[in-house]
């Protein structure tokens, strides 16, 4: 599957496991039509290689927020007025999300 990749989410005070990182990246690739088995995540700035629309990113952010809560990387409740999972997903996407189509 995907070569070694670990999302360092220090902003969440935890690291996302390799297994879950791979699942997240596979979902990201699927949403832009990229084969995660052949995409090189080891290249510098790999997240600049593809683009998605703002709507695609928003939909993925919702999915990722639910994923983070399901696997207990974040708690339940709100943070800064929004769902905690959605909030943390936004920080991850800021660092690792595809570019937005202009």
- Taking the C-alpha atoms of residue 20 and residue 24, their distance in angstroms, rounded to an integer, is 6
Instruction: Provide the residue ranges of all domains of the chain, joining segments of one domain with +.
Output: 8-100
Structure confidence at residue 18 as a pLDDT band (50, 70, 90): confident
User: Alpha carbon of 61 to those of 11, 38, 42: distances in Å?
Assistant: 16, 24, 23
* Residue of higher predicted confidence among 33 and 42: 33
Q: Mind listing the pLDDT tens digit for each residue in 47-94?
A: 999 999 999 999 999 999 999 989 887 777 777 667 888 988 998 899
- Comparison of pLDDT for 1 and 36, the residue scoring more: 36
Q: pLDDT grade, residue 7 (50/70/90)?
A: low
Q: At residue 5, does pLDDT exceed 50?
A: no
pLDDT band of 1, cuts 50, 70, 90: very low
Cβ(83)–Cβ(62) under 8 Å? no
Q: What is the pLDDT of residue 72?
A: 85
- The two three-digit tokens of residue 79, written as one number: 């943070």
Of residues 31 and 16, the one with the higher pLDDT is 31
Q: What is the pLDDT of residue 13?
A: 55
């Amino acid at each position: 599957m995907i070569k070694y990749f670990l999302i360092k989410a220090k902003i969440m005070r935890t690291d996302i496991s390799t297994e879950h990182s791979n699942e997240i990246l596979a979902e990201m690739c699927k949403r832009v039509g990229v084969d995660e088995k052949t995409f090189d995540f080891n290249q510098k700035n790999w997240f600049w290689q593809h683009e998605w629309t703002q709507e695609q990113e928003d939909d993925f952010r919702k999915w990722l927020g639910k994923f983070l809560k399901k696997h207990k990387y974040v708690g339940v409740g709100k943070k800064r007025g929004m769902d905690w999972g959605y909030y943390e997903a936004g920080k991850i996407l800021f660092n690792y999300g595809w570019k937005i189509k202009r």
